Amino acid sequence: MRVIAGSLGGRRLTAPRGRNTRPTSDRVREALFMALEPLVDARVVDLFAGSGALGIEALSRGAAHADFVESDRAARAALEANLLGLGLGDRARIWALTLPAGLVRMSEELRAADLVLADPPYGGRIAAHTLAELGKEGVLRPGARVVVEHHAKDVLPDAAGGLQRVRERSYGETRVSTYRLEGLGGV
């Protein structure tokens, strides 16, 4: 696994051992970020971060700061190693929280976020529950974008609170849904 583009393009990332995480493929990451650019000076939150590949990609492409949320200890260790190895420690913060319940503790960071990247476990309703929590009034800054990677068979709503789906793409069994919070501004 590697950083696709930007100032850290081509640099290798450490992945956590075991099957508790499912890294986003290079193909999906590349397509996702091509649709999101520019990210200059953006504040990013990477939920269900795993190795941090999504948030690190955002930092490599110009984001100013990223908050990474991961509950798994082994994944957090890999994430910390990646951030330190790439010299990103001063532009990042790691949160050891279980989602979506942990979003309440992150309210200030979320209200400052231009972009939220979420790659929850496939199956179940965790993607929809996380989206519903993010769509609640006052959680995100106006104009913020939320990108959710999910299984193609998982059905996410067209709208959740103030979030409205603006884009959806499929890559094999992976689907990427992009939402925007009503209001002006954001990346």
Q: Tell me: the pLDDT tens digits for 140-168?
A: 988 899 999 999 998 899 999 889 999 99
Tell me the residue type at 158.
D
Return the higher-pLDDT residue of 12 and 26. 12
Angle at 181 between CA 34 and CA 185, to 5 degrees: 75
Q: Residue 45 and residue 20: Cα distance in Å, rounded? A: 20
Per-residue model confidence as pLDDT tens digits over 81-121? 999 999 999 999 999 999 888 888 888 888 889 999 999 98
d(CA 87, CA 76): 16
CATH topology of domain 26-181: Rossmann fold (3.40.50)
Percentage of the chain modeled with pLDDT above 70: 95
- For the segment 49-74, the average pLDDT, to the nearest whole number, is 96
- pLDDT-derived band at 183 (thresholds 50, 70, 90) equals low
Residue 64, pLDDT above cutoff 50? yes
Ramachandran region of residue 76, left (φ > 0), alpha (ψ -120 to 50) or beta? alpha
Distances (CA, A) of 41 to 19, 84, 144: 34, 20, 14
Question: 26-36 and 53-60 helices cross at what angle (nearest 10)?
Answer: 40
The reply to whether the predicted model has a pTM over 0.85 is: yes
Parallel, antiparallel, or unpaired for β 92-95 and 65-69?
parallel
Confidence of residue 18 (pLDDT cuts 50, 70, 90): low
Work out the number of other CB atoms within 10 angstroms of the CB of residue 98: 10
